[in-house]
Chains A and B, each alone.
Chain A
Amino acid sequence: MFSVNQSEPYYDLTAQYLMMTALHSDINGDGRRINSFDIGLLGSLLDLQQLLAAIPLLFNSMFWELPVALDVSMGKSVALAIPRYRVATPPMKKSAYL
C-alpha cells in the first residue's frame, strides 16, 4: 500500500503516492494547525488510532468476502429485534467491610 515507484512516469498521481501525502499530513498534524479547537493536537493522535484500527478491519477475510478458516467459529445465528428502553438495575456496590 505504501509502495511508490518513483521511476514510473506520473508517480505523483498514483493512489499510493496520494495516500502517502495524505497520511503524512494526518499523522504529522500539518493540516490541523489552523484548527484552534484542536487543543493538545489530539486530532493527530486520533488519526494514528484510526490508522491502527483500520488494520484489523482491512486485513480481514470477512471484509473481502473470502473464505474463513474452518477452525474459527464464525457465528451461529442472527436475530431481528425490537429495541426498547427499561429502567436500569443499579450496579451492585461493594461493601466497605469486605
Chain B
Amino acid sequence: MLTGRLFFMLLRVALGVVLLSDVSTEPAYTEVYQSPVLVAGLSPINTNLTTSFNFNEFAITEFWFVYRTIFSDTKSVTAVDPLNCASRDTCSSYFMPGTPEKLVSDQSQPSITTDNFTQAVSFIQHDAPGFQIDFFPVDLDDPPISLQGDCKLYGVSNIAIQICLKAVNNAFVAGKPAPSCCFTDASMERLPADNDGRVCMFEHDRLAAKRSREYENGHHTASSDNGFRSLQPNDYRHSGHL
C-alpha cells in the first residue's frame, strides 16, 4: 500500500517535470545512400525560353498546372522562415528547391530499385541552388508606383488585367492599381473596375530578395546576401515518399 502510494507520488513529480519542461522535437535524417548528380535544383531565371519553339503553348499549360497549387505542392515548394522581415505574422516565405524528377543523375552509378533502401523515404539534395521568395507588405506610397513606367496592361477589348511590377533594391514591388487609376496613357483602355472601391494599392506585395539557406536537421541559417537572380548552393532536404 505504501509502496503504491510512493510510486504514484514519484510518478506525479516525474510527469510534472516532463510537462513543465520545454521539450520539442525536430526532424533528423540519417543518410543511407549518397550518389553524385550532374544537375539538380533550380537554375537562374532564363527569359530566353520565351523564344524557344512553341513556348507560349506549353507555358500556358504548365502555368496552369503549377499556378493555383504552387504553395500547396509540397514537392516543389515548402514554407520557411522569412529572411527579410521579422516574423511570419507579417510575411510569408517559400523556398523552391526544384524537384527530384528534374535532376540529372549520374548514369554510371548503380540503379536504385524498389528493393533497395525501403526505409529511406526522404530525399536530400546537397549543394544545389533554389529560390526563396519572401512576401511582405509595403507602404502605399513608398516607393511610388508609376502607372506609365511600372504597370502594364494585358488583355483584349472586353477584358484585361493590369499588373504593376517595380524593382526596388534587391526586391520587387508588385500589385494592381486601384480601380480609379486603371488607365494608361498608352492605350486608354480601362480595366473592368469594381464599383465598391475595395481594390486599392494596399494589395501591393513585395517579392523580396532571396538568399541561400543551409538546411541542417531542421535548422537553417542565412548565408550570403543575393539578389533575385543570384543563387547560392544549399542543401535541401525533402521529406516524403519518392
Q: Does B3 contact A (CB under 8 A)?
A: no
Please encode chain A, from 75 to 98, with 1 for each CB lying within 8 Å of some chain B CB and 0 for all others.
111111111111110100000000
Cβ B39 vs Cβ A80 within 8 A:
no
Cβ A53 vs Cβ B203 within 8 A:
no
* Minimum distance in angstroms from A86 CB to a CB of chain B: 5
Please encode chain B, from 188 to 218, with 1 for each CB lying within 8 Å of some chain A CB and 0 for all others.
0000101000110001010100000000011
Closest A residue to B210 by beta carbon equals A56
Q: Does B224 contact A (CB under 8 A)?
A: no
Cβ B62 vs Cβ A63 within 8 A:
yes
* Minimum distance in angstroms from A93 CB to a CB of chain B: 12
Please encode chain B, from 218 to 238, with 1 for each CB lying within 8 Å of some chain A CB and 0 for all others.
100000000000010100010
Cβ A80 vs Cβ B159 within 8 A:
no
Q: Does A36 contact B (CB under 8 A)?
A: no
Cβ B199 vs Cβ A29 within 8 A:
yes
Cβ B59 vs Cβ A58 within 8 A:
yes
> In the complex, A74→B129 CA distance in Å?
6
Cβ A27 vs Cβ B176 within 8 A:
yes
A27-B161, A77-B126, A79-B124 as given contacts; A60 in contact with B31, CB under 8 Å: no
List chain B residues, Cβ under 8 A from A20. 154-156, 159-161
Q: Using a Cβ–Cβ cut-off of 8 Å, how many residues does chain B contribute to the interface with A?
A: 94
Cβ A84 vs Cβ B199 within 8 A:
no
Q: Does A2 contact B (CB under 8 A)?
A: yes
Q: Does B98 contact A (CB under 8 A)?
A: yes
Cβ B33 vs Cβ A80 within 8 A:
yes
A75-B128, A86-B26 as given contacts; A53 in contact with B37, CB under 8 Å: no
Q: Using a Cβ–Cβ cut-off of 8 Å, how many residues does chain A contribute to the interface with B?
A: 61
Closest B residue to A42 by beta carbon equals B203
Cβ B103 vs Cβ A75 within 8 A:
yes
Q: Does B66 contact A (CB under 8 A)?
A: yes
> In the complex, A59→B68 CA distance in Å?
17
Cβ A28 vs Cβ B194 within 8 A:
yes
Contact segment of B5-13, B70-78, B138-146: B70-78
Closest A residue to B198 by beta carbon equals A41
> In the complex, A23→B61 CA distance in Å?
14
> In the complex, A91→B176 CA distance in Å?
40
Cβ A80 vs Cβ B123 within 8 A:
yes
* Minimum distance in angstroms from A3 CB to a CB of chain B: 7
Cβ 8 A contact of B124, one of A3, A73, A81: A81
What are 6 A-B pairs at a CB distance below 8 A?
A19-B64, A49-B92, A52-B172, A60-B45, A78-B103, A88-B24
Q: Which residues of B contact A (CB under 8 A)?
A: 22-47, 49-50, 52, 56-57, 59-64, 66-68, 70-71, 76-77, 92, 94, 96, 98, 100, 102-103, 105, 112, 117, 119-129, 131, 133, 135, 154-157, 159-161, 163, 172, 174-176, 192, 194, 198-199, 203, 205, 207, 217-218, 231, 233, 237, 239, 242
Other 16 A-B pairs with CB < 8 A, given A54-B67, A80-B34: A19-B64, A48-B205, A54-B66, A72-B43, A73-B233, A74-B38, A74-B43, A75-B39, A75-B125, A76-B128, A78-B126, A80-B112, A81-B29, A81-B120, A87-B24, A88-B23
